[in-house]
Structure 1
């Protein structure tokens, strides 16, 4: 299960809406081994495409080195789909290389990209390990302190 704070959830959705019609992408970083998505880092989609995303190689390398130095890891890797459901494409599955990450997809199809859209937003999370996709529950909380002591 992905437990994510409401502010981070809202930031991911806002980024997906802002970058539409191109796919948005980014990461949410947390302390290594914690599974706490704490630091929201929107990235530039170097592909600038409505059907494909790609982190800028230099930005990703810089961020990865920073995470290494700070004993952090990518807890969430997210991107949007602009015209299809929030389900990993074959390309998404092939590129998934972080076995501990939650892969979040947000669909901005059908008007969900509009800031005034009042319908539900399709926000889904997956584990992708060795090409196997497993959808997981998403629990949005006000803060991680709400979940302390839970198993």
Structure 2
């Protein structure tokens, strides 16, 4: 299950809406081994495409160097689909190289890109390991402290 803070959830959705009609992409980092997505890092879609996303190789190198220096890892790797459901494409599956990460997809189809859109946004999370896709539940919380207090 992906447990994610509301502020991070909102930031991912806002980024997807802002970059529409191109796919948005980014990472939410967290302390190694914590499974807590705490540092929102929107990235530039170097492909600038409505059907494909690609991290710039220089940006990706700098990101991993910074994560290593901060003892962090990519907890969430996210991108948007602009005209299709929030489900990994064959390309998404082939590019998934972080078996421990939650792969989040947001769909901005059917008007969901508009800030005035009052329907719920399709926001789904997956684990992708060795080409196998497993959808997982998403739980949005006010803060991680709320979850740890409730789990004692």
* TM-score (ref. length: structure 2): 0.98
1:89 matched to which residue of 2? 89
The runs of at least 4 consecutive aligned structure 1 residues that moved more than 6 Å come to none
- For residues 20-79 of structure 1, give each alpha carbon's deviation from its aligned partner in whole angstroms, at most 9, with x where no partner exists: 000000000000000000000000000000000000110110010010111100000000
Q: 2:72 matched to which residue of 1? A: 72
Residue 23 of structure 1 is matched in structure 2 by 23
User: What does 1:1-151 align with in structure 2 at a 5 Å threshold?
Assistant: 1-148=1-148, 150=151
Tell me the C-alpha RMSD between the 2 structures: 0.8
Supply the distance in 2 between the matched residues of 1:42 and 1:142 (Cα, whole angstroms): 21
The 1-side partners of 2:111 and 2:87 are apart by: 18
Give the TM-score normalised by the residue count of structure 1.
0.99
CA distance in 2, matches of 1:126, 1:71: 24
How far, CA to CA, are the matches of 1:63 and 1:90 in structure 2? 25
How many residue pairs get aligned? The number is 151
Q: Which runs of 5+ in 2 are unaligned?
A: none
